[in-house]
């Protein structure tokens, strides 16, 4: 693909993203009632996810969140290509709270083009009482992540989350488990 074609492809992607950004989702999920950002920051292990092109082939995926002095949250996502011993991959970004009444809706911008032009929605739709797990989606339900503070999650907790997501209308058959190192 020539540089010119690549430019026009990226331009079209940007225009499409901008057009869809104004569309109101028909069935957005409910978020949790409240999130204490101080308790939420730290390391999260990805237990399962809806397949996303930007995570293709990644295993051992973690997300590290840190509260910044200006109130934003730094985001560092890491993983390994194909195996836990594979080449490391990472991306950095910044999240801002989009709903200050609950802190359950964030907007994330990553350092790569064109994603940096259009922030991604990060909606916390389930959260363990001790912040031991979180479930994250977006208003259109196109993304879904099950996160844990530990590399493995108890089967009973995972099964409870799956049942809850099914009750909320999510297609849990699309979830892929993310291999993580043993504890």
> Which CATH number characterizes residue 41's domain?
2.40.128.20
Residues 6+ apart with CB under 8 A from 128: 134, 157
- Express each pLDDT in 125-168 by its tens digit: 999 999 999 999 999 999 999 999 999 999 999 999 999 999 99
* Structure-token pair, residue 20: 């869809």
Q: Are 45 and 151 in contact (CB under 8 A)?
A: yes
Within-domain flag for 10: no
Element (H, E) at 40: helix 37-40
Within-domain flag for 60: yes
**Number of domains composing the chain:** 1
Q: Are 144 and 155 in contact (CB under 8 A)?
A: no
- Express each pLDDT in 76-128 by its tens digit: 999 999 999 999 999 999 999 999 999 999 999 988 655 556 789 999 999 99
Residue 43's closest CA among 74, 6, 9? 74
Residue 143's closest CA among 62, 53, 83? 53
Within-domain flag for 22: no
The pLDDT of residue 31 is 98
């Amino acid at each position: 693909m020539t540089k010119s074609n690549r430019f026009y492809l990226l331009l079209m992607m940007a225009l499409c993203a901008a057009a869809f950004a104004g569309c109101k989702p028909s069935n957005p999920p409910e978020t949790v009632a409240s999130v204490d950002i101080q308790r939420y920051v730290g390391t999260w292990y990805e237990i399962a996810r809806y397949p996303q092109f930007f995570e293709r082939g990644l295993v051992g995926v973690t997300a590290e969140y840190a509260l910044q002095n200006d109130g934003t949250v730094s985001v560092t996502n890491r993983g390994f290509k194909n195996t836990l011993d594979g080449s490391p991959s990472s991306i950095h970004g910044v999240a801002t709270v989009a709903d200050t009444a609950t802190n359950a809706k964030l907007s994330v911008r990553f350092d790569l083009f064109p994603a940096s032009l259009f922030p991604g929605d990060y909606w916390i739709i389930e959260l363990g009482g001790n912040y031991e797990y979180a479930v994250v989606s977006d208003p259109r339900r196109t993304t879904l992540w099950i996160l844990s503070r530990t590399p493995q999650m108890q089967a009973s907790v995972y099964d409870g989350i799956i049942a809850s997501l099914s009750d909320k209308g999510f297609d849990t058959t699309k979830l892929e488990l993310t291999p993580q190192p043993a504890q």
